Amino acid sequence: MDELVARITSNVGIDPATATKAVGLILAFLQKEGPADKVSALIAAIPGAQDAITAAQSQGGGFLSGMMGGVMGLGSQLMGLGLGMGEISGVSKETIGFAREKAGSGPVDEVVNSIPGLSQFV
């Protein structure tokens, strides 16, 4: 997780704590919305991923995320961290790119393509 957070901090320009929370929210979203077997392999390939997911889930998602599901709900949660659209896009692309490096393009693309609307953001 440290390697991914360092990349996000460097390339997107957000602080490490926010980057860690954002990655946790993204991975928790994939875990909830994607095919369980593929997402499990993806999460297992990223050191510290499950800890980030657990931390993100324990913080709750805020009022709007409870009302909105899918990609829009995730976007609401990420905005709740103070991220703008450019930062959300950057964090998402870095996270999925890192997942592709660790778990392989095939499994990651299967997860991304299984969730309606996600591919346009990553």
| Phi, psi dihedral angles at 18 (to 5 degrees) | -70, -40
Q: Measured between alpha carbons, how far is residue 28 from residues 34, 60, 119 in Å?
A: 10, 11, 17
Residue 78 has a pLDDT of: 95
Separation between Cα atoms, residue 96 and residue 122, nearest integer Å? 7
| Residue with token string 């790119």 | 97
Across all residues in the chain, what is the average pLDDT? 89
What's the pTM value of the predicted model, to 2 decimals? 0.90
Residue 118 has a pLDDT of: 86
Q: Pull the structure tokens for residue 62.
A: 């805020």
51-109 pLDDT tens trace: 999 988 887 554 444 456 788 889 999 999 999 999 999 999 999 999 999 999 999 99
- Report the percent of the chain where pLDDT is more than 70: 93
DSSP 46: S
